[in-house]
Amino acid sequence: MSMAPPVERPSVAIIGGGIAGLTAALGLQDSCRTVLFEARGQLGGHILPHPVTDPRGRPAAVDTAFVVFVPETYPRFTALLQHLGVAHAAAVTKFRITDELRELSFPAGELLQQCGRTLPKECRRELLRLYQLLVRVRREGLGFIDDLPMAAWVEQQGLRPETIELGVLPWVASFWGLQPETVLTVSAKVALREIARNAGPYPMHRVVPSTQGYLDALVAALRHCEHRHQRVEAVRLRGGPTVHGPRGAERFDRVIVAVDAIDARTMLVDAEPRVGEVLGRFGYEPTVAVLHRDPSYLPADRSQWCTFHHRRRRDADRVRSVTTWVLDLLHEWHADPTEIATPTLLATGDPGLVDEARIDPEQVIAVFRHRHLVSTPRVVASLPELPALDEGQAFTLAGSYLALGGLHEDALASGARAADKVRTELGLGPASWPWSAEG
Ligand SMILES: Cc1cc2nc3c(=O)[nH]c(=O)nc-3n(C[C@H](O)[C@H](O)[C@H](O)COP(=O)(O)OP(=O)(O)OC[C@H]3O[C@@H](n4cnc5c(N)ncnc54)[C@H](O)[C@@H]3O)c2cc1C
């Protein structure tokens, strides 16, 4: 009796264990030998929560770089949570804007009411026009928005400084942890898309009790994928894709590079020059997320504390904007802010918060250094070139930067696209995703 030789499964290396890489692994592990390389000791990338003790002394985890999402605009992620059996719930996301330069502090929901009181009454008309524009973006997409940097776009719209500084910049700066002057360089298309997507009519949700449950369920679902906690030094394409790390080189049939554009560019050492040139257009701003207990960036009156705060103030010789999440309120450890004895706060902003000790170093629990994509019009203009970069190549790009918003749903979509592309190239059937094909 002759035995058929075992069918050798194609091998795929995935570099980067953030949500983009994990999603790609999910879409390939059934049909390929899938090896996931992650430089850090744990998988998750930005979704990795941080362990803390809650006010009742119980172990808890807080979300530090994937905090909230809107189910209606995160269709893939919402379907994935359902598939994994992970709960999510509407989050308490009251937002307060404090502008020390204008000596103003008010709940963001009262912006219109401030017009004619603390703000010029003309701002009301401008804000209503902006709200209508966001409704149009949600309905029609971005085709009618000129691809200008925000600074030129707000000028084109004839907006007053108050409308810009209180009605536009705090929202975008808070989503991305960027400084307002950086937001002014971002493409108006991307900024308006993110406001429409995240500050829309639908409530923000959070994974409950924290993203730890999501990450655990996702990693458990990847039981057919091999994980290696190893920093990849280079991916060489000539002669077949080879992954180079501290333990030597290994050849695969395909490689998915699921790291940010800077790391992808460095890693792909012998890719065509066009790849490096396009990836080099993606600019990033260094940011930090600081988990701490120092309330100095929050109103002195604790009854005014809400889930997140945007504060613009002059620190030493420069103006700095900081977004502070009161995690006690977000995680519903307390409903009444005046009852918070020792707050657990997450401040996102520029690295000077830590490097210049703007937040009391004694009160710092953990510091996460990030770099955040700055989606300028030049980056947006590169979008049509992206699919052609890895088409017909042995490598595939993934990562939230590929969809310009740089948010969780973008990363997930990029990982799914990478798995689908590899499956098509290897002649495998379509992946079975928990979401519909339209996503
Ligand atoms: C402070 C902050 C708050 C945020 N809040 C939200 C939010 O509320 N909602 C939302 O939707 N999005 C949010 N985001 C964005 C979101 O978290 C990210 O867009 C998304 O998780 C990025 O996923 P990724 O897989 O593309 O990248 P990453 O999560 O960065 O994963 C890349 C992985 O690659 C690994 N890696 C890099 N180089 C190598 C190498 N050489 N070898 C091996 N591994 C390597 C890294 O260690 C990392 O784990 C936030 C981001 C930040 C910074």
For residue 343, pLDDT over 80 is answered with: yes
* Closest ligand 1 atom number to CA of residue 287: 53
* Residue bearing the CA closest to ligand 1, atom 52: 65
For residue 301, pLDDT over 90 is answered with: yes
Domain boundaries, the chain: 11-49+211-282+377-425, 94-202+284-374
- Give the residue carrying structure tokens 């991305």: 176
Verify whether ligand 1 is closer than 6 Å to residue 411 (CB atom). Answer: yes
Q: Which of 2, 433, 434, 24 is nearest to 222 (CA)?
A: 24
Per-residue pLDDT reduced to its tens digit, 158-175: 999 999 999 999 988 888
For residue 1, pLDDT over 70 is answered with: no
Its CATH architecture, for the domain 11-49+211-282+377-425, is 3-Layer(bba) Sandwich (3.50)
For residue 439, pLDDT over 80 is answered with: no
Q: Residue 275 C-alpha to ligand 1 middle, in angstroms?
A: 21
* Closest ligand 1 atom number to CA of residue 289: 1
Q: Residue 301 C-alpha to ligand 1 middle, in angstroms?
A: 35
* Closest ligand 1 atom number to CA of residue 74: 11
Per-residue pLDDT reduced to its tens digit, 102-124: 999 999 999 999 999 999 999 99
**Alpha carbons within 13 A on the beta-carbon side of 260:** 17
Residue 405 pLDDT level (bands cut at 50, 70, 90): confident
What confidence score (pLDDT) does residue 271 get? 96
For residue 6, pLDDT over 70 is answered with: no
Return the best residue to mutate from 15, 22, 66 for the ligand 1 pocket (most ligand atoms within 8 A of CB).
66
Q: Residue 45 C-alpha to ligand 1 middle, in angstroms?
A: 5
Q: From CA 60, how far away is CA 242, in angstroms rounded?
A: 40
Residue 177 pLDDT level (bands cut at 50, 70, 90): confident
Angle in degrees, CA 333, 88, 343, rounded to 5 = 20
User: 89 vs 83, 144, 203, 205, 208, CA distance in Å?
Assistant: 16, 34, 9, 5, 7
Q: Residue 76 C-alpha to ligand 1 middle, in angstroms?
A: 17
Residue 310 pLDDT level (bands cut at 50, 70, 90): very high
Per-residue pLDDT reduced to its tens digit, 199-242: 878 899 999 999 999 999 999 999 999 999 999 999 999 999 99
User: Helices (DSSP H) in 309-376: which residue ranges?
Assistant: 327-330, 352-355
For residue 144, pLDDT over 60 is answered with: yes
Average pLDDT over residues 279-288: 95
Return the best residue to mutate from 42, 67, 193, 259 for the ligand 1 pocket (most ligand atoms within 8 A of CB).
259
Task: Mark 129-141 as b/e (b = at least 16 C-beta within 10 Å).
Answer: ebeebbeebeeee
Per-residue pLDDT reduced to its tens digit, 51-98: 999 999 999 999 999 999 999 999 999 999 999 999 999 999 999 999
- Give the residue carrying structure tokens 């999603």: 23
For residue 197, pLDDT over 80 is answered with: yes
Q: From CA 220, how far away is CA 94, in angstroms rounded?
A: 34
* Closest ligand 1 atom number to CA of residue 40: 47
For residue 4, pLDDT over 80 is answered with: no
The answer to which of 5-9, 98-102, 322-326 has the lowest mean pLDDT is 5-9
What confidence score (pLDDT) does residue 199 get? 82
Verify whether ligand 1 is closer than 6 Å to residue 66 (CB atom). Answer: yes
Put simply, whether the predicted model's pTM sits higher than 0.85 gets the answer yes
Return the best residue to mutate from 36, 407, 409, 414 for the ligand 1 pocket (most ligand atoms within 8 A of CB).
407
Verify whether ligand 1 is closer than 6 Å to residue 298 (CB atom). Answer: no
Residue 151 tokens, joined: 């600074």
User: 266 vs 118, 257, 319, CA distance in Å?
Assistant: 50, 11, 34
Given a contact cutoff of 8 angstroms between Cβ atoms, the answer to whether 323 and 347 are in contact is yes
Q: From CA 233, how far away is CA 395, in angstroms rounded?
A: 15
What confidence score (pLDDT) does residue 2 get? 55
Q: From CA 433, how far away is CA 439, in angstroms rounded?
A: 10
* Residue bearing the CA closest to ligand 1, atom 27: 18
Task: Give CATH for domain 94-202+284-374.
Answer: 3.90.660
Given a contact cutoff of 8 angstroms between Cβ atoms, the answer to whether 115 and 121 are in contact is yes
Q: Residue 46 C-alpha to ligand 1 middle, in angstroms?
A: 4
Per-residue pLDDT reduced to its tens digit, 38-54: 999 999 999 999 999 99
* Residue bearing the CA closest to ligand 1, atom 37: 259
